[in-house]
Chains A and B, each alone.
With several copies, the nearest count.
Chain A
Amino acid sequence: MSGVASLSRTVDDNAPYDVEEVRTDFPILSEKIYGKPLVFLDSAASAQKPRVVIEAMKNLYEHEYANVHRGLYWLSERATDRFEQARRTVAAHLNAAHDHEIVFTRNGTEAINLVAATWGRTFLKAGDEIVISELEHHANIVPWQMLRSEKGIVIKVAPITDEGELRMDAFRALLGPRTKLVAIAHMSNVLGTIFPVKEIVASAHAIGAKVLLDGCQAATHQRVDVQDIGCDFYAITGHKLYGPSGIGALWGREELLDAMPPYMGGGEMIDKVSFEKTTWAPLPHKFEAGTPAIVQAHGLAVALDYMNGLGLERIARHENDVLRYANERLGAIPGLRIIGTAPSKASVVSMLADFAHAHDIATVIDREGVAVRTGNHCAQPLMARLGVNATVRASIGLYNRRQDIDALAEALEKVRRVFG
């Protein structure tokens, strides 16, 4: 389903791709902001979409749209086919053992909440422990806090080093007989650190705890193989994967999903309903109440096809090259400090400037057409740990290039002149 252009680009799998050519796949990248070319460095918040994704959704609405699963007519069968094909694409992308281990959600946040509200509510009791880390996104903190309020579970927080790495010794020391779940980011949205997830899983499984990985960032920068990692749940979000807004997915091990009660009630997720008793549909429908995000699931699948067309390894190599360049170029700006320097990191440069407030930086560089994120990045506890209020974060997507970093650096120099 990926464009012909991108297929032809994959002839030599090891050669880097032509980023200028790739950029033409993304309509928004030729926008002008205040008359200046857009320099988009906020893909970690949400990525831009290639034309094939936008067109695929348009086509579905224009030629094959209907509600899914319940219609016996051609359009409904087409739409159902697209939707279930999307599930297969996501399953293959994560190397899930079964297609029905993929549950479509609105976003990554809902994927994690689903686990907290069904698995957590059913299998955890007062005193049971969940281990998270200091650098979690709010999406992987708040659902567990809500469960804590309800059930009296205990949340233990594994510390990170100043560089942004998980302190594995301290992490292991938190694991104990009452640990039921380790819920941890595969990659940090603030520091870019990639956690050693296989080691984490091995330690957690050794004491019988399950592992949920928040893969909302990681899945956009590397190949994810849930069977190889060995985790139990994996959450992704479509809009960061060059797919549309309004779609995410939870992967869960079949036997765990089977044992979990449904999350929401309604159409699609039932087998038989009477006022007295209702029985649930088999996986994955048990967890997909109501009309799903049909077109968005298809859009996500096309986005994954697009990424695979470029090659996940090539994307990673390209992004890493830009990241290295960014570290050099931005690291050379006086008064600017890069935080998050773990050896294993991807795509993200978080910065603190001594010459201006992050808010002022964002405002000034916006006027140069440069889009970065400032603030706490939905990770207030991490900010507290780092002793800062806000950082300026530039994040690199598959379409960014060294010039984007140059534009950011020049804009930051301008900030220094205005405020310094």
Chain B
Amino acid sequence: MANLEKFEEFVDNLSQLDDETRFEYILDLARKHRHDPFPASDMTPEHEMHGCQAKVWIVHEQRGDMHYFRGHSDAAIVNGLVTMMTDSFSGLTSREIAELSIDHVRKLNLGSLTMQRQVGMMAMLKYIKKLGLAQAA
């Protein structure tokens, strides 16, 4: 599968970190995100993903055959994770999105940030797939 460069970069980076620095890394992603703020006007119920403790919004756009995602959360760590997911899977085709699976989430080694957050990541992946594929259908 092509075009997963950004994703592979995350996988690489995370695999080289220990728990403490991995945590910092995710918070950094959230901080970077501050420079490219998610507009308040997009924080609407229609963009909100349910089922998380923190609020999560994800916006989807299709340009040609490619899908692009932007997201945000009101909690910093979740915000970092959302950023990781939207950056990872933006620029994919419908077919590529259809092929994403929980193995992708598993590959992102979150160390001690696993489980609940992994569940949250799965949910995000599902949501991203839903957005991408609904558009395709």
Contacts and interface: CB of A to CB of B under 8 A. Distances in A.
Interface in B106-124: 112-117
A80 B115 contact: yes
Interface string B28-59: 00000000000000000000001101110000
Contact of B53 (A74, A78, A367, A374): A374
Contacts of A356: 76
Contacts of B115: 77-78, 80-81
Given A34-B19, A363-B77, A367-B23, A357 B54 contact: yes
Given A34-B19, A390-B53, A418-B27, A357 B116 contact: no
Among B23, B51, B112, which residue has the most Cβ atoms of chain A within 10 A?
B112
B112 A367 contact: yes
A115 B11 CA distance: 45
Contacts of B23: 367
Nearest to A33: B112
Contact of A359 (B51, B54, B113): B54
B112 A34 contact: yes
Among B27, B51, B114, B116, which residue has the most Cβ atoms of chain A within 10 A?
B116
A375 interface: yes
Contacts of B116: 71-72, 76-77, 80
Contact of A357 (B27, B50, B74, B114): B74
A360 B53 contact: no
Given A72-B116, A374-B53, A375-B53, A357 B76 contact: yes
A27 B55 CA distance: 36
Among A74, A363, A375, A419, which residue has the most Cβ atoms of chain B within 10 A?
A363
Nearest to B24: A418
B114 A359 contact: no
A282 B127 CA distance: 14
Given A77-B114, A77-B115, A357 B75 contact: yes
A359 B77 contact: yes
A363 B113 contact: yes
Given A375-B53, A389-B55, A390-B53, A360 B75 contact: yes
A419 B76 contact: yes
Contact of B76 (A71, A77, A80, A360): A360
B78 interface: yes
Contacts of A281: 51
Interface string A62-91: 000000000110101110110000000000
Among A77, A271, A356, which residue has the most Cβ atoms of chain B within 10 A?
A77
A354 to B, nearest CB: 13
B53 A72 contact: yes
Contacts of A72: 53, 116
Among B23, B115, B117, which residue has the most Cβ atoms of chain A within 10 A?
B115
Contacts of B113: 363
A77 B77 CA distance: 17
Interface in A20-60: 34
Nearest to B20: A367
A44 B75 CA distance: 24
Contact of B50 (A74, A271, A358, A359): A271
A271 B51 contact: yes
Contacts of A374: 53
A36 to B, nearest CB: 12
Contacts of A359: 53-54, 75, 77-78
Contacts of B74: 357, 389
Contacts of B76: 356-357, 360, 419
Interface in B56-90: 74-78
A64 B113 CA distance: 17
A360 B74 CA distance: 10
A374 B54 CA distance: 10
Contacts of B55: 389
A34 B18 CA distance: 12
Contacts of A74: 112
Interface string A81-125: 100000000000000000000000000000000000000000000
Nearest to A281: B51
A244 B2 CA distance: 49
A418 B77 CA distance: 11
Closest 5 CB pairs of A and B: A359-B75, A77-B115, A357-B75, A359-B54, A360-B76
Interface of B: 19, 23, 27, 50-51, 53-55, 74-78, 112-117
Given A360-B77, A389-B74, 16 more contacts: A34-B112, A72-B116, A77-B115, A78-B115, A272-B50, A282-B51, A356-B76, A358-B53, A358-B75, A360-B75, A360-B76, A363-B77, A363-B117, A389-B55, A390-B53, A419-B76
